[in-house]
Amino acid sequence: MRAAVLALLLVASQARAGEQSFGGDFGPVRSDVFVPDVKVVRGVIVHAMNAQFKTDDRWAELCRELGFAHVVMSIDRKANNRPDKLAAGLAASLKEFAEKSGHPELVHAPRVGTGHSAGGMVTAVLIRDPAATLTTCVDCSWVTDPAKLDAAAKGVPLLFTMGAVPDGFKMLPAIDQFYVPARRDGLPWGLGVQHGCAHDWGNAAALQVPWIKAIVRTRLDPAADPTNGPVKLRPVVAEDGWLGDRSTAAGTFATVAAWGDYKGDRAAAAWFPDRATAEVWRAWSSKNSPVTLEAATADGTAKLAPFDPKKSRDLKVPAGVGVKLSASVKSGTAVKKVAYYAGDSLIGEATEAPFEVAWAKPPAGCHAVWARWVGADDTPGAANPALLLVRGR
């Protein structure tokens, strides 16, 4: 009991004024919710398993940006029928949290799922109600069998990421077994393979976050209000998206193009909801780039950790603080220009080492930032992205 009280106090101390957090047990399911300081909760990001409940991480910051709540659940790993029990726990907890928080819209708010490994069962938890599911993004977990989906569920855009290194979990064969048939059937599914990773979360969030933001923009009307009932989600139009050539994703500059401009086999390509996500995928897929993105707050209080393909690269940026972007270049590599992007928006570029660019006023929110470099022979390349978590005031 004392530990639970201390944990609640810790969460409260990390949250901001006007924000709320609640938790409880709902049958075999533990469920906790974070609600940002918003008039109407527009949606809910759901972790079904394998996640810690925090109010100061990337997911809380993304929820603040989107006006979403965040639910983190857990269940005994040995329990049977876990997706069914988690779905029931989600429904029960949202009903209770809606009453406690004064946000009745939590019950009907559309959902986004994310998770790693066993947390990937969030797709099975949410997609049973496709009308309420914006998307799910799972890493190193089950690739959904498209043959088991009905027509409505096939319309839900899904993102799958996994490590490029074969291991005992044997995730990679699911690409040919399930992902390829899904794309042949025209399903709006994205795919990313992390170089240097096996069954590792790695930098998956740097691709998931822009995907989620794009899907929310595409499918959820900004004026939608789930207070009085479910909202109608807009359908995904595959032809409005972008495509990535998976056969080029083992170099340093994968091929991406808008649907209408794509020259290869569209059914064999990875699908993305917009240009920003496709450009981030290009950088995220870069293998052994000789150029590494570096970033630090302008006040010098924080900087990106050294690049490690098995670890996330997040930088927390306080409100009102700028960011200094730069690039480290492997010895023996000649680079004549580096340009920095947030998604597909140019931040700035530099032509002299260490290729520093000042981002004086980054907007509040989660930004997938990456670097496009040009070699001495004019060959382009992309450095792996990082997430900049910029606090609002």
Query: Of 258, 284, 310, which closes a domain?
Result: 284
Q: Is the pLDDT of residue 106 over 90?
A: yes
Same domain, 140 and 223: yes
Same domain, 239 and 298: no
Phi-psi map region of 117: left, alpha, beta (phi>0 left; psi -120 to 50 alpha): left
Query: 295-348 pLDDT, tens per residue?
Result: 999 999 999 999 999 999 999 999 999 999 999 999 999 999 999 999 999 999
Same domain, 106 and 249: yes
Same domain, 295 and 343: yes
Query: 204-232 pLDDT, tens per residue?
Result: 999 999 999 999 999 999 999 999 999 99
Question: Under 8 Å CB-to-CB from 274, ≥6 apart: which residues?
Answer: 214, 217, 218, 241, 242, 344
Of 366, 374, 382, residue with least CA distance to 283: 382
pLDDT for position 15? 56
Residue 275, classed as helix, strand or coil, is helix
Same domain, 260 and 306: no
Residue 378, classed as helix, strand or coil, is coil
Same domain, 127 and 50: yes
Average pLDDT over residues 12-24: 76
pLDDT for position 9? 37
Whole-number mean pLDDT of the chain? 95
Q: Structurally, how many domains does the chain consist of?
A: 2
Query: 321-334 pLDDT, tens per residue?
Result: 999 999 999 999 99
Facing residues of 258 across strands?
242
Query: Residue 259, exposed/middle/buried by CB under 10 A (0-12, 13-18, 19+)?
Result: middle
pLDDT for position 12? 39
Same domain, 245 and 356: no
Same domain, 178 and 312: no
**The domain that contains 356 carries what CATH number?**
2.60.40.10
Query: 259-295 pLDDT, tens per residue?
Result: 999 999 999 999 999 999 999 999 999 999 999 999 9
Same domain, 295 and 199: no
**The domain that contains 263 carries what CATH number?**
3.40.50.1820
Q: CA 259, 260, 261, 267: dihedral to nearest 10 degrees?
A: 50
Domain around 115? 2-284
Query: Residue 59, exposed/middle/buried by CB under 10 A (0-12, 13-18, 19+)?
Result: buried
- 51: confidence class by pLDDT, cuts 50, 70, 90: very high
